Amino acid sequence: MSKSLLGCGAVLLALLVVAGGLFLWGTGVYNRLVGLDEGVKTAWSQVENTYQRRADLIPNLVKTVEGAADFERETLTEVIEARAKATSVQITPQDLTNPEALARYQQAQDSLSSALSRLMVVVERYPELKANQNFLQLQDELAGTENRIAVERKRFNEVAQEYNTARRRFPATVIAGWLGFDEAAYFEAAEGAEQAPQVEFDFRER
């Protein structure tokens, strides 16, 4: 076998080794991005579950509060309308890379949080509600759900940050750009949230 053929064979072998290495590297990066992307979607499903849990509690809460004599109808109406709006704004997996879509969802949910906070403040004026065991149970469940919402939103942001960091690192960012791994959006704190008073849900007599 001539030296030229041996040289060509060596070059071809080297090219195959390099190509195989690049393929394995690219596959590893792709699989990691897929895993992180699925993590974002899973974290989002937990966020949705907690918001849905809150929405499911509200009809019973409204029904219980309506039983109080002369309860402020305007406050209840605000809660009912805010719930309707919050449940009408839906997020698809594709929307998780759309900051505007996530902001609309967050705004609708925050509006419901504000309406519920106002409702709980008004309840303070109604001793019969503060002694109603059904209301107290719903109040506890809502408070627990609000805490869970905060936990799941924080978790979602952490998972989204891990994914975004991975997709921005070179050379993974090249593969992310080629294969459509877009940047995940984040939950943002509402403007002025750092100064907003925290509404206490527990109005029971101590």
In angstroms, the CA 65 to CA 67 distance is 5
- Domains, the chain, ordered by start: 38-189 (1.20.120)
For residue 98, the 8-state DSSP code is -
pLDDT at 190: 55
Question: How many helices (H) and strands (E) in the chain?
Answer: 6, 0
pLDDT at 68: 76
| pLDDT tens per residue across all 206 residues of the chain | 565 655 566 566 666 666 565 555 667 678 888 898 999 999 999 999 999 999 999 999 998 888 776 778 888 999 999 999 999 999 988 899 999 999 999 999 999 999 999 998 888 888 888 888 988 999 999 999 999 999 999 999 999 999 999 888 887 888 887 877 899 999 886 544 433 334 344 444 43
pLDDT at 148: 94
Report how far apart, in Å, the C-alpha atoms of 157 and of each of 43, 59, 60, 134, 186 are: 9, 30, 31, 35, 6
The residue behind tokens 């504000």 is 114
- Using an 8 Å Cβ cutoff, are 142 and 51 in contact? no
| Residue 166: both structure tokens together | 């991975």
Q: Give pLDDT tens digits for 42-58.
A: 999 999 999 999 999 99
pLDDT at 195: 39
In angstroms, the CA 60 to CA 204 distance is 19
pLDDT at 206: 35
| Residue 45, amino acid | S
